[in-house]
Structure 1
Amino acid sequence: MRKTEPRGVYLAVGWQRPMPGTAFPAPIPAMRKCGGAIHARDIRDAKRTVARGFWPGARPMPPPPRAETGDNAAPRRHDQHRASGRREKVFSQRKVAQLLVRLIEIDPPIWRRLLVPSDWTLAKLHRVLQATFGWTDAHLHEFHIGGLRYGDPDLLDDGFDGPRVFDYADVRLLDFLGQPDPVFVYVYDFGDNWQHEIRIEAWPEVETAPKQAQCLDGARARPPEDVGGPWSYGDFLEAIRDPEHDDHASNLRWAGGHFDPEWFDLEVINKDLRNAMRSNAARRLHQPKPKKG
């Protein structure tokens, strides 16, 4: 049975201004009694209503009319909800999000172009990004959208009244639809601070509902894990290119004995993406070594 809010409780909608370089206004829902806001019966529907683009000044939805009986009775709310859910499911299945992802503060750029099912959440997108760049998922991560933090609250809430962490399992890529040039950031490894800029380039339609993400193109290998961040990565490259450098041998050992910054293998990356949602999938710790001969 669905949990409903008492009659007379409405959703008051507020929006936080987007941070520079982003285009996704963060919804700030609050449940309180007020006569001129959007009606909601449960928290889940309210959050989804906000995420789909109701802006301040939108015409409020009045409380639902009392149920009528007979042949002329209006469809009940749960029937309308089911019909809306079916339309949304068909719509989302026919769309994918085309993403351009690049590591910030690295030149020449390390980037990937992806197709991701539009109804996937940011929690699933985290696994996609780990697979497409070849990270090992050994560190904490979060998304930054409109100045707010989205991630796993159980992992990121520190209990010291820090900035609130919103559950990234509640946000889908489809929620960005209609926003002009959506851009947000994925941060992996708070020590090395690998920041990935994610730009939604397009919403191409597909004939059948996609079951997995796909990499279309890209360039260059991601840096070794725990190398120290973008600035230390430059020092790492300098050392492995110079056999006379004091750190040449140790840095190569750190990278698994081989590292080519220009490496990019579309077949290998898409194989990793096909296994991205498997909890027991083997993860590559290092870049594949070139075949001899």
Structure 2
Amino acid sequence: MLKVRRTLVRRTKKFQEGTYLIKVSWRKGVWRKIELAAHHTLEDLHQAIQQVFDFDDDHLYSFFMDNKKWSHASYSSPLDESGPHADQVTLGELALEPGQSFLYLFDYGDEWEFKLKVEGIDPAKPLPLKPRLVAERGAAPEQYPDNEDWDE
């Protein structure tokens, strides 16, 4: 008789304290750098991205941790029917590493795609109470640009 043993090893890491520096890029030459604490959630990161790019938070979103759009390695908006949800996981729980990239997709219709990169994790730096913008380059895109060809 063949016995099946546990063949999948679950990757577990302890909570990683520190101040996280995340670079959020829209297109070449348009980016923002945001500092967050390990206790901030992906929902907090979503809110920070919305603020620094001057977007209206009026659509669903997902973070794709394997950097592949529509993969199952994702955390979605708390309003999305599918989970897991972005407000239920902190940065410190994600086992992120400096240099790691992942994808943020906002508005499933228009598909605003932002590339995120962990630029650093500093355990000695004072933790920010809330996410904060520390650097930026380029003009933010217009979420709802005027379209002269639009029929009224």
What's the TM-score once normalised by structure 2's chain length?
0.75
User: Is 1:220 matched with 2:138?
Assistant: yes
Tell me how far apart the structure 1 counterparts of residues 106 and 127 of structure 2 sit (CA, whole Å).
29
Please provide the CA RMSD for this pair. 2.9
CA drift of 1:169 comes to: 2.3
1:180 is displaced (CA, Å) by 6.0
Tell me, yes or no, if the aligned pair for 1:51 and 1:175 is still in contact at 8 Å: no
Aligned to 1:97: 20
TM-superposed deviation, 1:206? 4.3
- C-alpha displacement at 1:121, in angstroms? 1.1
Runs of 4+ in 1 over 6 A off after TM superposition: none
Matched, 1:123 2:43: yes
Residues 1:168 and 2:49 are matched in the alignment: no
Question: Equivalences for 1:47-126 in 2 at 5 Å?
Answer: 50-52=11-13, 92=17, 95-103=18-26, 106=27, 108-126=28-46
Corresponding residue of 1:196: 114
1:29-48 paired onto structure 2 within 5 Å: none
Q: Where is the helix percentage greater, Structure 1 or Structure 2? A: 1
Stretch deviating more after TM superposition (200-209 or 185-194): 200-209
Aligned counterparts of 1:220 and 1:207: Cα–Cα separation in 2: 27
Report the alpha carbon displacement of residue 127 of structure 1 after superposing the two structures with TM.
0.8
1:175 to partner: Cα distance: 2.7
Give CA deviations for 1:156-197 in whole Å, capped at 9, x if unaligned: 22xxxxxx5312223221134464632111111112211111
1:211 offset after TM fit, Å? 0.5
Describe the shift of the 1:206–1:212 C-alpha distance in structure 2 as closer, same or farther (beyond 3 A). farther
Cα distance between partner residues in 2 of 1:183 and 1:14: 25
Contact 1:186 1:195 in 2 (8 A): yes
Query: 2:77 maps to which residue?
Result: 152
**1 or 2 for the larger relative contact order (CA 8 Å, sep ≥6)?**
2
The 1:51–1:125 alpha-carbon spacing in structure 2 relative to 1, beyond 3 Å, is farther
1:125: how far off?
A: 1.1
Distance 1:133 1:13 in 2: 44
Gaps of 5+ in 1: 1-11, 16-26, 28-49, 54-87, 158-163, 228-235, 240-246, 252-293
> Which residue does the alignment assign to 2:3?
none
Secondary structure at 2:29 match in 1: coil
Residue 47 of structure 2: SS of its match in structure 1?
helix
Q: For residue 58 of structure 2, what is the aligned residue in structure 1?
A: 138
Residue identity in the other structure for 2:45: L
Residues 135-173 of structure 1 show CA distances to partners (whole Å, capped at 9, x for unaligned) of: 1101111111233231135x222xxxxxx5312223221
Distance in 2 (alpha carbons) for counterparts of 1:193 and 1:172: 24
Contact 1:176/1:182 (CA < 8 Å) preserved in 2? no
Work out the percentage of aligned pairs sharing the same amino acid: 21
* Unaligned 5+ runs, structure 2: 1-5
Aligned with 1:128: secondary structure? helix
Alignment of 1:227-242 (within 5 A): 227=145
Q: Map of 1:20-31 to 2, 5 A cutoff?
A: none
The structure number with the bigger radius of gyration is: 1
What TM-score does the superposition give when structure 1 sets the normalisation length? 0.42
Q: What residue identity is the alignment partner of 1:101?
A: V
